[in-house]
Amino acid sequence: TAQFSGVVVEDITNDDTAAMDLQTWTVSLAFDNPDNTLLNVFNADVQAEGDGGFYHSTAAGGIVGAQARPFDLDPANVDEPYDSFITINVGTGGDSDLLGDLSLDPDFSSSSFINDGHLVGGWFNSNPPNLMGQAGDDGLVQIAQLTIDAGTEAGGDISFFYNEGPGTDGVEGSASFVIPTPGALALLGMAGLVGSRRRRA
């Protein structure tokens, strides 16, 4: 049976973000079948250690603290590279046709997400069945992009529902993850809690 296989965090900090003493990470759920489809994330409880909490671009537009896909992380766009948001992305590529299909649970607090570095609540695909949340060839469904103070940690717990394609039963899962400081990456890998990848623009 095709199932959830872990959480992947990836450092996508670029030069502009680093110059502001910030660090940006993507958080994705990994599945072992391209048909696996994430339906919703709920009971999220994710915290940032740094004084600034999760940094959010005021130029992002849309729902504060929530977007259906990442913005283009072009260093020429000063506001966009360090945006924090939640998502149910299509693989790691995004799909602009699905921008309207991300919705927030009533318990999601965008002000808390931005102001005190404590992400709580949930978000979901409001228009299934569609391709939103399908793992695709890379097996990854992005659930957040989080920007925090450089050298600090973030992490927490999430629950989620997914299925193995249209017409299949939903499966409930849960996971804990840590967005580590750079020096903690080796220890994190040994613990086997998440996979992590680093990419510097």
Name the 3-class secondary structure at 100: helix
Amino acid in the structure at residue 13: T
CB of 54 within 8 A of CB of 48?
yes
Taking only the tens place, the pLDDT of each residue in 157-168 is 999 999 988 788
pLDDT for 192 equals 32
Least confident of 54-58, 97-101, 135-139, 168-172: 97-101
Amino acid in the structure at residue 169: D
If one compares 10 and 190, the residue with the highest pLDDT of the two is 10
pLDDT for 195 equals 37
Of these ranges, 44-48, 92-96, 111-115, the one predicted with the greatest mean pLDDT is 44-48
Percent of the chain topping pLDDT 90: 18
If one compares 133 and 100, the residue with the highest pLDDT of the two is 133
pTM above 0.85, yes or no: no
Query: How far lies 9's CA from each of 25, 28, 78, 162, 195, in Å?
Result: 6, 6, 23, 19, 6
Taking only the tens place, the pLDDT of each residue in 20-78 is 888 888 899 999 888 899 999 999 999 988 777 787 665 544 444 444 333 343 434 44
pLDDT for 31 equals 92
Structure tokens at 109: 């607090």
Residue 87's nearest CA partner among 101, 75, 73 is: 101
What is the radius of gyration, based on Cα positions, of the chain? Answer: 16
Mean pLDDT of the chain: 74
User: What is the C-alpha separation between 82 and 85, in angstroms, rounded?
Assistant: 10
CB of 63 within 8 A of CB of 5?
no
